[in-house]
């Protein structure tokens, strides 16, 4: 996969990989990082590396890959730099918060499609549909349901979503093993 990247993409890949190792070595040995930087750096670099390695086949769609990388940087960067503000207004998210959350969730689904395959996308769409239309389900499994934007905010910003326990474990322990 790495060999298929052009020279510029290989340099970006190498810089991101080395930065990840240096960042987490520094955070582990010298100065622990705040939550948003600790988890955000891992997620943002992982997204970039995945879009570089699991690239689209056509040249025109490769441009879309670069747009998705840019959107990843912007949406995750927004979470990192607005972390305290977003946490203080939990439950009262702004339109901007919702837009970045929707972008982040949709990019996460696209990343999963590239790495794991279409089965994950199907399951994700089924679960999002259940989250929205849970009030139509049989009584045993029904719930009030939530708007799509509210689900995306929960998935993207809350501590059990994209930046939750899994990102923390991967960023804390798996990175340090290498």
Q: For the segment 24-48, what is each residue's pLDDT rounded down to a tens digit?
A: 788 777 888 777 787 788 888 888 9
Q: What is the value of pTM for the model shown?
A: 0.82
More confident residue, 168 or 106: 106
What confidence tier does 86 reach under pLDDT thresholds 50, 70, 90? confident
Which residues have a Cβ under 8 Å from the Cβ of 24 and sit 6 or more positions away? 41, 42, 171, 175, 176
Residue 86: how many other CB atoms lie within 10 Å: 21
pLDDT tens track for 129-147: 998 888 888 888 888 888 8
Q: How many domains does the chain have?
A: 1
Answer whether 149's CB lies under 8 Å from 102's CB: yes
Answer whether 21's CB lies under 8 Å from 176's CB: no
Q: Which domain holds residue 152?
A: 2-177
């Amino acid at each position: 996969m790495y060999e298929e990247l052009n020279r510029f993409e290989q340099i970006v890949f190498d810089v991101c990989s080395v930065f990840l190792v240096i960042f987490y070595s520094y955070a582990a040995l010298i100065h622990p990082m705040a939550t948003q930087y600790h988890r955000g750096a891992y997620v943002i670099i992982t997204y970039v590396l995945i879009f570089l390695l699991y690239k689209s086949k056509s040249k025109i769609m490769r441009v879309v890959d670069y747009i998705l990388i840019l959107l990843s940087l912007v949406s995750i960067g927004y979470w990192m730099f607005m972390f305290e503000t977003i946490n203080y207004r939990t439950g009262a998210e702004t339109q901007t918060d919702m837009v970045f959350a929707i972008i982040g969730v949709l990019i996460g689904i696209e990343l999963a499609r590239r790495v794991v395959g279409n089965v994950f996308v199907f399951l994700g769409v089924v679960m999002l549909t259940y989250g929205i239309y849970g009030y139509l389900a049989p009584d045993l499994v029904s719930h009030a349901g939530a708007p799509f934007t509210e689900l995306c905010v929960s998935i993207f910003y809350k501590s059990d979503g994209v930046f939750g326990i899994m990102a923390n474990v991967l960023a804390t322990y798996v990175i340090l093993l290498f």
